[in-house]
């Protein structure tokens, strides 16, 4: 079979698997967040942490719980890295330096999983297992909880309560993330992914030299890395490493894992609001954006500019031959379309257009289909803006999912929507203006600018992938990227929860002949157009200085 044919086969299998999982899994997640009964293990956790699971919270209390929970996680993860030498399974590694420890703690608490270090050389097994992996679970559960809280704002009427943050985090972790991760860890082990607590294995190369190949409990880390759209690899090469992703089957399974929750949550939305067509509409917009940019990346990597790549018949630099261009492109488009950040190829080696496609995927707000939880609440924010614009066009008060959209709601939606672009452009501009940044760039000129722009785009979107040519170990980059991750995560969360509280306080508005049908192709087109228009207005000038100019050169 040709490489292209194999690529289309993988794409077809992926879409079939997502279609099969969509309805039952989406319905199951809706049940998880609406069922009145608590599991026994959940009740035990509530007793231990003195939580009343039957009480509900205002949006301010809900948000305070998220901020407090995340702050504790940030401090504990920072502390664990600083005292690593005295922890079990440290494997002889020293304490992580303060700036790097802050950057890493901010990264994993915000579901970014940006890594400015070489894992095999920096961390033993204790910090990844007891710190990073725990955050992989709970940071993903926080994202799902925020999405569900916003959906409750549409569902409920005349109330100031959005649910209980501790119940939502517990259920997301215990009922969704843990069992699926356990199951797929076994699947990945069966397909050849490494699971070991040994520090490494000694080998003798053909020239007689002795080397140690690092080992790790990779399979258990890999599943939640992808399922929770986290992305931080236990090895420096991430999912390009054969111990994390040894073959085409594991590659396909990992892509499925990073897409299945964001895709299926559109069904969860439809079930919770009592109209599954609303979920289908959002899924259609996500799918068109994902498919469009997937096509751009795949085409760009098979039709590169540059004599060496043209002679090779494609841009194979930085890609694993066991995946080829199709398997690499499918992973690239999916990991940047979600807030995952895992990689199975070197993004810095992408062509100008291919790298630009990956960057645009993030600049859309990572809603194609977005991260775990973040995808659905981000596209709902754009839907509110689209409905508001439609209302202005026809001169009537806009409504969405039975709630009126007024100045208050649009203000909160705008804050959630514009926080990321502001962070990207301000911090990337400051970095480019500093003379020291020239020394950090792996490449001069257009591609060097793209490396910096990609770094802050990735951080502010809580993605975590990078154009790895840039060196970000200086105090400036460690600090500013960490700040971007924190603000890029929590400003939109606070705005979304405030939006949910405002919606929940309203009465339901009955549909009339003048109500815009938001489960129609017309509205899907308006929503997609709004997303593209916002991204174009904000980012085209910056893209013109980097990826666009590089692609045209």
The ranges assigned to domains in the chain are 382-552
> What is the token pair recorded at 211?
């080397």
Question: If you ran DSSP here, which 8-state letter would residue 132 be given?
Answer: I
> What is the token pair recorded at 352?
């100008």
**CA nearest to 148, candidates 376, 321, 439, 363:** 376
Residue 478 reports pLDDT greater than 60: yes
pTM of the model: 0.94
Q: Which position has the token pair 């980012």?
A: 539
> What is the token pair recorded at 79?
């502390």
Q: What radius of gyration, in Å, describes the C-alpha atoms of the chain?
A: 23
CA distance 369 to 14: 14
HSE-CB of 253 using CA atoms within 13 angstroms: 25
pLDDT tens digits, 247-276: 999 999 999 999 999 999 999 999 999 999
**CA nearest to 143, candidates 109, 174, 175, 115:** 109
**CA nearest to 146, candidates 374, 368, 371:** 374
> What is the token pair recorded at 188?
């990945």
Q: What is the pLDDT of residue 309?
A: 58
Over residues 242-247, the mean pLDDT reads 93
- List beta partners, residue 319: 345
Q: What percent of the chain shows pLDDT beyond 70?
A: 97
> What is the token pair recorded at 439?
């020394």
Q: What is the pLDDT of residue 2?
A: 66
Rounded to the nearest 5°, which phi and psi values hold at 213? Answer: -95, 120
Residue 308 reports pLDDT greater than 70: no
For residue 109, what are the CA distances in angstroms to 19, 81, 151, 285, 420? Answer: 31, 14, 23, 29, 17
User: 485 pLDDT band (50/70/90 cuts)?
Assistant: very high
> What is the token pair recorded at 201?
């294995």
CA distance 56 to 165: 8
CA distance 165 to 145: 7
CA distance 234 to 220: 10
**CA nearest to 149, candidates 14, 34, 316:** 34
pLDDT tens digits, 458-476: 999 999 898 888 888 898 9
CA distance 90 to 219: 19
CA distance 472 to 459: 12
Q: What is the pLDDT of residue 371?
A: 93
User: 334 pLDDT band (50/70/90 cuts)?
Assistant: very high
Residue 15 reports pLDDT greater than 60: yes
Residue 303 reports pLDDT greater than 90: no
Residue 306 reports pLDDT greater than 70: no
Instruction: Indicate the average pLDDT of the chain.
Output: 91
């Amino acid at each position: 079979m040709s490489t292209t044919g194999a690529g289309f086969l993988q794409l077809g299998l992926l879409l079939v698997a997502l279609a099969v999982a969509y309805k039952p899994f989406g319905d199951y997640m809706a049940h998880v967040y609406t069922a009145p009964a608590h599991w026994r293990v959940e009740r035990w956790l509530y007793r231990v942490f003195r939580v009343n699971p039957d009480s509900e919270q205002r949006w301010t209390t809900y948000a305070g719980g998220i901020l407090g929970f995340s702050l504790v996680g940030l401090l504990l993860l920072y502390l664990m890295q600083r005292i690593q030498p005295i922890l079990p399974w440290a494997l002889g590694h020293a304490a992580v330096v303060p700036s790097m420890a802050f950057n890493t703690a901010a990264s994993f608490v915000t579901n970014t999983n940006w890594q400015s270090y070489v894992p095999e050389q920096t961390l033993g097994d204790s910090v990844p297992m007891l710190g990073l992996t725990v955050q992989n679970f709970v940071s993903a559960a926080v994202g799902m909880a925020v999405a569900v809280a916003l959906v409750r704002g549409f569902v409920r009427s005349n109330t100031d309560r959005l649910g209980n943050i501790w119940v939502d985090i517990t259920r997301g972790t215990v009922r969704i993330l843990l069992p699926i991760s356990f199951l797929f860890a076994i699947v990945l082990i069966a397909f050849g992914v490494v699971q070991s607590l040994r520090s490494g294995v000694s080998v003798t190369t053909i020239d007689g030299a002795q080397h140690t190949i690092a080992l790790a409990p990779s399979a258990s880390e890999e599943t939640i890395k992808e399922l929770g759209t986290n992305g931080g690899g236990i090895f420096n090469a991430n999912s390009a490493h054969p111990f994390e992703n040894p073959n085409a089957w594991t590659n396909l399974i990992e892509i499925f894992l990073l897409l299945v929750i964001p895709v299926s949550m559109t069904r969860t939305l439809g079930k919770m609001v009592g109209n599954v067509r609303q979920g289908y509409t959002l899924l259609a917009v996500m799918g068109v954006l994902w498919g469009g940019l997937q096509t751009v990346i795949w085409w760009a990597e098979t039709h590169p500019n540059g004599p060496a790549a043209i002679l090779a018949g494609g841009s194979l630099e930085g890609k694993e031959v066991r995946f080829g261009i199709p398997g690499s492109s499918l992973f690239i488009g999916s990991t940047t379309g979600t807030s995952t950040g895992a990689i199975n190829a070197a993004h810095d080696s992408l062509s100008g257009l291919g790298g630009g496609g990956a960057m645009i995927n993030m600049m859309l707000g990572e809603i194609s289909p977005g991260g775990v939880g973040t995808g659905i609440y981000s596209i709902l924010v754009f839907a509110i803006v689209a409905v508001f614009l439609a209302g202005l066009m026809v001169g009537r008060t806009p409504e969405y999912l039975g709630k009126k959209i007024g100045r208050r709601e649009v203000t909160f939606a705008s804050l959630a929507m514009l926080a990321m672009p502001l962070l990207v452009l301000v911090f990337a501009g400051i970095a480019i203006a500093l003379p020291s940044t020239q020394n950090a760039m792996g490449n001069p000129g257009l591609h060097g600018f793209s490396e910096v722009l990609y770094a802050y785009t990735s951080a502010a979107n809580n993605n975590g992938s990078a154009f790895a040519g840039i060196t970000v170990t200086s105090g400036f980059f460690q600090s500013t990227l960490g700040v971007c991750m924190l603000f890029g995560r929590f400003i939109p969360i606070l705005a979304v929860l405030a939006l949910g509280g405002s919606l929940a306080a309203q009465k339901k508005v009955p549909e009339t002949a003048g109500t815009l049908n938001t489960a129609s192709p017309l509205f899907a087109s308006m929503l997609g157009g709004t997303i593209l228009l916002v991204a174009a207005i904000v980012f085209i000038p910056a893209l013109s200085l980097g990826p666009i100019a590089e692609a045209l050169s």
